[in-house]
């Protein structure tokens, strides 16, 4: 397949390009710096392009930062997506579009409604989540209004080698490695019992390709494990990899107000349609994160 990947220079995009190439797909990337919000530049870039599928990963994605500039997040994530849909719909041969959304679109879900299914109502809390929910509708308009076969992926938490230390698992890995180097025996943390649905980025990109091939247009699919792990469990896995134990000290300053205790998704729709199953366990994923941190940089695959 000929595959166009937006956001190919990001953490997940890099792993996706590597996976697609490994499967024999021809990967096409937009020139670095092309702004999807520049409608004319995007249409020019796609003129004459023949592709079988477009993976749309490009987006502003930091939940916390979205609170300080909601307009920027809406403009980039929604307008950029709408422009991409319009440009793809003008191609002589319509490709399939896999739009990567986020589990954040579900917002706060009652514990009685766990694990979260795709039929769950969308109640986005952050500006980022709201922008991703709106972007979903922009892509689905491409399907219902333009006939562009569109599949929506809603990934839950994912991590792996090369992820930025702005995110939980690499941040914990760095702190524990520093603690080991300095001989510290304790680590200040927030809510160690909060549980989230984590997957390895290498499993996530496999799911994306399977959805691009087998997903039903107009449908959304959770990309998740169906199990939740706590911060305490992640620290335990890191301790095993590093062969170094630390005591956890809860710091009230690191606690989030109204933190959701458990978030877990239901992957059955994904599994039934694509046959997907996970290949990486939590210890394997954590070992990969530590390996990336231990190299002294945060490499993308193929570096």
State pLDDT tens for residues 66-86. Answer: 999 999 999 999 999 999 999
Task: Kindly state the average pLDDT of the residues 150-175.
Answer: 95
Helix (H) or strand (E) holding 152, with range, is strand 150-155
Terminal CA-to-CA distance of the chain, rounded, Å?
24
* Total structural domains within the chain: 1
In a domain, 283, yes or no: no
Residue with tokens 């929604």: 78
If you average pLDDT over residues 42-50, what whole number do you get? Answer: 94
- Contact, 218 vs 143, CB < 8 A? yes
Higher local confidence (pLDDT), 188 or 54: 54
What pTM was computed for the model? 0.94
Residue 293 within any structural domain of the chain: no
- C-alpha 191 chain-centroid distance: 22
Q: Does a structural domain hold residue 166?
A: no
Q: Domain span at residue 6?
A: 2-159+198-224
**Of the candidates 213, 211, 95, 83, the residue with the CA atom closest to the CA atom of residue 139:** 83
HSE-CB at 210 with a 13 A cutoff on CA atoms is 19
Query: Is 229 within a domain?
Result: no
Q: How far apart are CA 292 and CA 287, in angstroms?
A: 9
**CA dist list (Å): 137 to 120, 180, 192, 244, 276:** 15, 47, 35, 47, 26
Q: Is residue 184 a part of any domain in this protein?
A: no
Task: Name, in order, each residue with C-beta under 8 angstroms of 287's C-beta and a sequence gap of 6 or more.
Answer: 241
Establish if 190 belongs to a structural domain: no
Question: What pLDDT was estimated at residue 12?
Answer: 97
Residue 125 lies in a domain: yes
| pLDDT > 70: percent of the chain | 95
Phi first, then psi: give them for residue 240, nearest 5 degrees: -70, -40
Whether 258 has a pLDDT exceeding 80, the answer reads: no
Mean pLDDT in residue range 241-270: 86
> Residue 119 maps to which CATH number?
3.40.50.720
Is-contact 239 245, C-beta < 8 A? Answer: yes
Helix (H) or strand (E) holding 250, with range, is strand 247-250
Q: Pick the range with the lowest mean pLDDT from 136-140, 180-184, 189-193, 212-216.
A: 189-193
Domain assignment present for 267: no
CB atoms closer than 10 angstroms to residue 137? 15
**Interval 5-43: pLDDT, tens:** 999 999 999 999 999 999 999 999 998 889 999 999 999
Average the pLDDT over 265-290 and give the result: 97
Q: CB 233: neighbour CB atoms within 10 A?
A: 16
Report whether 244 contacts 237 (CB < 8 A): no
């Amino acid at each position: 397949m000929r595959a166009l990947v937006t956001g190919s220079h990001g953490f997940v995009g890099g792993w996706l390009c590597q996976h697609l190439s490994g499967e024999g797909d021809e990967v096409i990337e937009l020139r670095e710096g092309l702004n999807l919000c520049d409608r004319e530049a995007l249409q020019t870039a796609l003129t004459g392009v023949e592709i079988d599928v477009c993976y749309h990963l490009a987006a502003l994605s930091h939940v916390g930062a979205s609170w300080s500039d909601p307009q920027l997040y809406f403009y980039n994530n929604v307008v950029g997506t709408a422009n991409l849909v319009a440009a793809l719909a003008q191609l002589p041969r319509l490709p399939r579009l896999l739009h990567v959304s986020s589990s954040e679109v579900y917002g706060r879900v009652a514990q009685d409604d766990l694990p979260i299914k795709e039929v769950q109502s969308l109640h986005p809390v952050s500006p980022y989540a709201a922008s991703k929910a709106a972007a979903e509708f922009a892509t689905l308009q491409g399907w219902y209004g333009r006939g562009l076969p569109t599949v929506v992926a809603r990934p839950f938490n994912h991590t792996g080698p090369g992820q930025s230390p702005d995110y939980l698992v690499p941040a914990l890995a760095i702190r524990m490695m520093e603690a080991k180097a300095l001989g510290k025996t304790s680590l200040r943390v927030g809510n160690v019992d909060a549980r989230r649905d984590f997957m390895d980025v290498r499993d996530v990109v496999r799911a994306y390709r399977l959805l691009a091939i087998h997903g039903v247009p107009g449908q959304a699919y959770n990309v998740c494990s169906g199990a939740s792990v706590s911060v305490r469990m992640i620290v335990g896995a890191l301790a095993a990899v590093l062969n170094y134990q630390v005591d956890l000290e809860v710091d009230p300053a690191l606690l989030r107000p109204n933190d959701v205790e458990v978030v877990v998704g239901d992957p059955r729709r994904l599994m039934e349609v694509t046959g997907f199953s996970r290949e990486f366990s939590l210890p394997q994923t954590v070992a990969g994160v530590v390996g990336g941190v231990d190299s002294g940089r945060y490499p993308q695959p193929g570096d």
